[in-house]
């Protein structure tokens, strides 16, 4: 991502998660990450900024691009379940195992969906919505980046 040409639209058309203050997180796309980096007073390289931000090692709120209002608290029930179980148990609780991978179970509120997506993200998995068949599936980061 750090080596993409800035004169063309980003080929990374999916969302990432970054840490905000007060234990909150935000969902953000790659062009917004670039803009936040440009505002960064620490003058980190974009590669270093991405490394720190996407690995949840720095907070990135209170910028022109990402305000405190864009940050949200993780669902406490889902957070507790994630912290007290293995990743496999977490996946089994919220997803259905299918031949081709994992499909998100139905019936989650938006805050729950965002929290599930965040915990998948920090484990190098992306929750993608297939609007053709109306389901969310889990995709490994390395598979997603191969497609691009």
Residue 2 placed within a domain: no
Give the per-residue pLDDT at 3: 47
Give the per-residue pLDDT at 9: 47
Residue 66 sits in the same domain as residue 32: yes
**How many structural domains comprise the chain?**
2
Count of beta carbons in the 10 Å neighbourhood of residue 62: 12
Residue 49 sits in the same domain as residue 84: no
How many whole angstroms separate alpha carbon 145 and alpha carbon 15?
13
Residue 61 sits in the same domain as residue 85: no
| C-beta separation of 67 from 61 below 8 A | yes
Residue 3 placed within a domain: no
In the chain the beta strands, taken as DSSP E runs, fall at 15-19, 25-29, 95-98, 101-104, 125-130, 135-140
In the listed set 70, 89, 115, which residue is the last one of a domain according to the structure?
70
The closest of 147, 133, 145, 131 to 1, measured between CA atoms, is 145
Residue 59's domain spans which residues?
A: 15-70
The list of the chain residues with pLDDT below 50 reads 1-3, 6, 8-9, 148
Give the per-residue pLDDT at 146: 66
Q: Whole-prediction pTM value? A: 0.85
State pLDDT tens for residues 60-91: 877 788 876 689 999 999 999 999 999 999 99
């Amino acid at each position: 991502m750090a080596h993409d040409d800035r004169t063309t639209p980003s080929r990374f058309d999916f969302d990432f998660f970054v840490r905000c203050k007060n234990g909150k997180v935000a969902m953000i796309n790659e062009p917004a990450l670039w803009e936040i980096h440009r505002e960064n007073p620490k003058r980190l390289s974009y590669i270093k900024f991405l490394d720190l931000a996407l690995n949840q090692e720095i907070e990135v709120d209170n910028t022109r691009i990402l305000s405190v209002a864009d940050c949200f608290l993780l669902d406490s029930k889902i957070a507790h379940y994630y912290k007290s179980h293995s990743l496999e148990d977490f996946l089994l609780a919220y997803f259905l195992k299918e031949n081709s991978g994992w499909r998100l179970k139905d019936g989650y509120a938006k805050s729950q969906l965002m929290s599930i997506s965040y915990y998948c993200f920090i484990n190098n998995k992306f929750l993608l919505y297939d609007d053709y068949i109306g389901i969310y599936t889990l995709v490994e980061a390395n598979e997603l980046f191969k497609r691009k």
